[in-house]
Amino acid sequence: MFRGTMSQATADAHDALALAGLVVLVTGASSGIGRAIALAAASEGADLVITYRRNEAGGQATAADIRKLGRRVLLRQVDISRQEEIEGLAAAAMAELGRVDAWINNAGADILTGEGAALSRLDKLDRLLAVDVRGTMMASWAAAELMQRQAAGGTIINMSWDGALTGLEGENPELFSAMAGAILSYSKSLARTAAPKVRVNVLGPGWIETAFGEGAPRQFRERIRRRIPLGRWGTPEDVAKAAIFLASGAARYVTGQMILVNGGEVM
């Protein structure tokens, strides 16, 4: 087993943008935004705890790339809709790495591609509520309780959606709005409860080049691109850069906020 201790280098990292000496946990890191966040954190000097649910090959690939960057990594298979698995994740992270400085709740249900796209409206809603809302809340509680026991506290970052602020027509956007709005309002309340030792913030991505965007028709992609003031779809790496900022000491006076990573479509 490998354990970390709070060194002067770690303390200094809390006051800088770099994550050197910190431990960052990222759920859903086998692909897309989660993978980008994990690799960005490793590039900034963090050791990682990462999870996957079904995509073991993707999780192993992310872990291998983290090791190539010279960082330690703990890979766990976790279903975040199950409380016992979240508790096991927190316990394993503490046993292996000694602490968690930033816990990033990225894992979410896919209702846009694969089998998820074929679900009924109610089944999609149930999946989003179980995984994205309930899972994020349970994971955040576990993270906050863990960090309250740490001398340096920590930070929690939850994933919402920029459309929670404006709405968007369509059945799937209605479902995502319910999920994203719940996560946003919950995170603001948790930020008050967990302060001052624990900061809680939210990322609100817009149109990002993940599996859904890559598989969308060209005409649809172009129509969306024209709506975005910065003239392009976002990338997982764009979201990762915002996550690194929120996880770092550079954001030490930021809590209860949502950063929109969307090229300006929602302002």
- Does residue 1 lie in a domain region? no
Sign of the CA dihedral running 108, 42, 78, 213: positive
Q: How far apart are CA 132 and CA 109, in angstroms?
A: 6
Domain region containing 110: 14-261
Yes or no: say if 38 and 63 are a contact pair by the CB < 8 Å rule: no
Q: What is the pLDDT of residue 211?
A: 83
Question: Which has the minimum average pLDDT: 3-12, 233-242, 257-266?
Answer: 3-12
- At residue 8, does pLDDT exceed 80? no
At 29, the pLDDT band (50, 70, 90 cuts) reads very high
| Number of domains into which the chain is organized | 1
Percent of the chain exceeding pLDDT 70 equals: 94
- Mean model confidence pLDDT for the chain: 94
- At residue 3, does pLDDT exceed 60? no
- At residue 15, does pLDDT exceed 60? no
Specify the pTM. Answer: 0.92
Q: Which two tokens stand for residue 261?
A: 């990573």
Once rounded to an integer, what is the mean pLDDT over residues 8-19? Answer: 55
- At residue 46, does pLDDT exceed 80? yes
- Does residue 267 lie in a domain region? no
State the CATH number of the domain containing residue 62. 3.40.50.720
Q: What is the pLDDT of residue 16?
A: 54
Q: What is the pLDDT of residue 9?
A: 45
Q: How far apart are CA 77 and CA 53, in angstroms?
A: 5
List pLDDT tens digits, range 169-228.
999 999 999 999 999 999 999 999 999 999 999 999 999 999 888 888 999 999 999 999
- Does residue 5 lie in a domain region? no
- Does residue 43 lie in a domain region? yes
Yes or no: say if 23 and 92 are a contact pair by the CB < 8 Å rule: no
Once rounded to an integer, what is the mean pLDDT over residues 126-146? Answer: 98
Q: What is the pLDDT of residue 7?
A: 46
124 CB-side CA count, 13 A: 21
- Does residue 6 lie in a domain region? no
- Does residue 9 lie in a domain region? no
CA distances from 42 to 20, 46, 244 (A): 9, 5, 10
- Does residue 266 lie in a domain region? no
- Does residue 195 lie in a domain region? yes
List pLDDT tens digits, range 55-109.
999 999 999 999 999 999 999 999 999 999 999 999 999 999 999 999 999 999 9
Q: What is the pLDDT of residue 147?
A: 98
Yes or no: say if 26 and 104 are a contact pair by the CB < 8 Å rule: yes
